[in-house]
Structure 1
Amino acid sequence: MGININPFTWWNGASWGTMLGLRGKKRVGEDSLGNVYYEGGKDTAGNPRRWVIYKGSNDASRVPPEWFSWLHHHIEGTPDESGPPQRSWEKPAVPNMTGTALAYRPPGALEAGGHRVRATGDYEAWNPDA
């Protein structure tokens, strides 16, 4: 089914038109999530154009921070050659989990059981007669 849907959709990977548009562009790297990055040509300001081809669904939150910096011209070279070394306390980037079973559910959310800690004594209900 993937080969039949690919020419017409953009939300679940690169379409054939995108892949044809990348002809002659330079593949500069791949991140830990499998996304592939390209560079080539110039935009109207004279900066090199940069692309990401997502592995899987097209979701901008799936671009790691170091590659986001490269895509938006915050750094010139690829993260492998010009990025700072990763610190021991840094956590790996994770995509946005909203709408999935792994989404954050605060205490009291219906999906988390619907019970929350009772209010302390600092809350006083509004009374129209007061």
Structure 2
Amino acid sequence: MGNALAPVFTWWNGATLGTHLGLRGKRRVGEDDLGNVYYEGGRSVDGTPQRWVIYKGSNDASRVPPEWFSWLHKQLDDVPDRSMPQPRAWQKPMVPNMTGTPLAYRPHGALEKGGQRPASAGDYEAWTPEG
């Protein structure tokens, strides 16, 4: 499938054409460090403003930083850039869940690392009746 038709048919890598059409008339309120774009507009059944995220890249909720997650779930009234304090020097930047990717954490002994790990004092020894 060519790149021109991808937004019409694919939902797993960004937003479809239908999603972009549905955002007409909605207000773009911000963008996070990963390039995800956030929108607000209209009202839900309970009268609160509706909020959306359009992912840059794969549609994975773990790619939404905590401050924007709070905004999406109406824990913050205003966008994080205006309502959250500046990050502290000791805070690390948000990292998406890397499970299932080549960047996933694999401890010593994982099959992807050769399946060998150093021996440990608590290693299992099978019982044999001769022993």
TM-score clears 0.5 = yes
Give the Å deviation of 1:113.
2.6
Which AA in structure 2 matches 1:127? Answer: W
Match of 1:115 in 2: 116
Give the Å deviation of 1:117.
2.1
Correspondences of 1:21-60 after superposition (within 5 Å): 21-60=22-61
Give the Å deviation of 1:67.
0.6
Match of 1:105 in 2: 106
TM-score by length of 2: 0.90
Would the alpha carbon gap of residues 3 and 123 (structure 1) be closer, same or farther in structure 2, given more than 3 Å must change?
A: closer
Cα RMSD after superposing both structures: 1.7
CA deviations over 1:24-56 (Å, ceiling 9, x no partner): 101000111111100011111211100001111
CA deviations over 1:47-88 (Å, ceiling 9, x no partner): 110000111111111111111111011111100000122011
Match of 1:91 in 2: 92
Match of 1:72 in 2: 73
Q: Give ranges in structure 1 of 5+ residues lacking alignment.
A: none
Give the Å deviation of 1:16.
0.9
Q: Distance in 1 between matches of 2:18 and 2:10?
A: 10
Which AA in structure 2 matches 1:3? Answer: A
Would the alpha carbon gap of residues 53 and 111 (structure 1) be closer, same or farther in structure 2, given more than 3 Å must change?
A: same
Q: Distance in 2 between matches of 1:26 and 1:127?
A: 68
Q: Distance in 1 between matches of 2:39 and 2:94?
A: 21
Q: Distance in 1 between matches of 2:43 and 2:124?
A: 62
Q: Figure out how many residues of one structure are paired with residues of the other and give that number.
A: 129
Question: In percent, how many aligned pairs have the same letter?
Answer: 63
Would the alpha carbon gap of residues 106 and 123 (structure 1) be closer, same or farther in structure 2, given more than 3 Å must change?
A: closer
Which AA in structure 2 matches 1:12? Answer: N
Give the SS at the match of 2:50.
strand
Match of 1:127 in 2: 127
